Structure 1
Amino acid sequence: MGGRTTRQRKSVLSALAGCQDFVSAQELHALLVADAQSIGLTTVYRALRDLAAEGGVDVVRDEAGGRLYRRRPADGHRHYLICRACGSSRPVDSEVVEQWADRIAADTGFARVEHTVELTGLCTDCHTTEDREGVPPCRWEPEHQDSPDRARSCAS
């Protein structure tokens, strides 16, 4: 991966490696600060922007249009199915999407074609909860923002 290897960038990469699911820059910053890392939110944003440009992280949008980040696996680009309620994610077989994008590029003569495919739904746990209570649990409930369970998908 290109770019300068700074202490802050290493910290961001390390924190991302501990996250199983997509996280926002703010959530990642909170994890770093909770781990006694001295790093500014702007620095986290800059590191994530650079990592995304280099292909080191996958980026998706949440329902409000904000960016969420996940470290890209060594075997490259993937697509994910993301739970709208709890934020859990799982990679999905997307070979047909890759073939379609390649065919469109070849048919049109375009080069370096990029694409974004975002699949969202409710995971089994959240779908079951919604059926029982009528409303899916919300990942972003303000009263839980400072709770250690807030970033349950990330290693502390």
Structure 2
Amino acid sequence: MTSTRTRRTAQGAAVRTALESMAGFISAQELHRRLSDDGSKIGIATVYRQLNALVENQEADAISTPEGQLYRACEDPQTHHHHMVCTSCGTTIEIEPPDEAWFTSVARTHGFDVHSHTLEVFGICSACRSASSAR
């Protein structure tokens, strides 16, 4: 994927810094709320625009969940990666897919050419599972 050159702005830096301070994935709305709570005068549309620019430049990950799109600063923007996400606390780890060749094989079986792929696995982490059992 080719990076897009974007102009660096104070608002973009604020979004990037806030995203980097998050432990896991966060919605644009929640990130906007936190920026506003910290005194930033940034609009929600600007937050979305900056997050999408970070994703396009491979500086952030975006995943789709039933609740909507979530974002996280990339740990290593140079490598393609996949995620396992706890649906209770949001803890996220990067995982290796079964085999990149698997995507191509399945696509070929169904007459597709693969241009890109995304793989997210959702579940409950051991800490949340333990906390749930202790109640």
Would you say same fold, with TM above 0.5? yes
Q: Give the partner amino acid of 2:73.
A: R
SS in 1 for 2:26: coil
Aligned residues: 130
Q: Considering only aligned residues, what root-mean-square deviation do their CA atoms show, in Å?
A: 2.2
Greater length-normalized contact order (CA 8 Å, ≥ 6 residues apart):
1
CA distance in 1, matches of 2:47, 2:133: 38
Amino acid in the other structure paired with 2:14:
S
2:23 aligned partner: 20
Q: If each structure's strand is expressed as a fraction of its own residues, which one has the higher value? A: 2
Matches of 1:102 and 1:57 in 2, distance apart?
25
Specify the alignment match of 2:126 in structure 1.
Answer: 124
Shift of 1:103: 5.0
Report whether the alignment pairs 1:68 with 2:37: no
Unaligned runs of 5+ in 2: none
* TM-score, scaled relative to structure 1: 0.72
Q: Map of 1:82-93 to 2, 5 A cutoff?
A: 82-93=85-96
CA distance in 1, matches of 2:9, 2:99: 36
Report the Cα offset of residue 102 of structure 1. 4.7
Distance 1:74 1:4 in 2: 19
Taking every aligned residue pair, what percent have the same amino acid on both sides? Answer: 32
Equivalent residues in 2 for 1:66-145 (5 A)?
Answer: 66-72=68-74, 73-94=76-97, 96-103=98-105, 110=113, 113-133=115-135
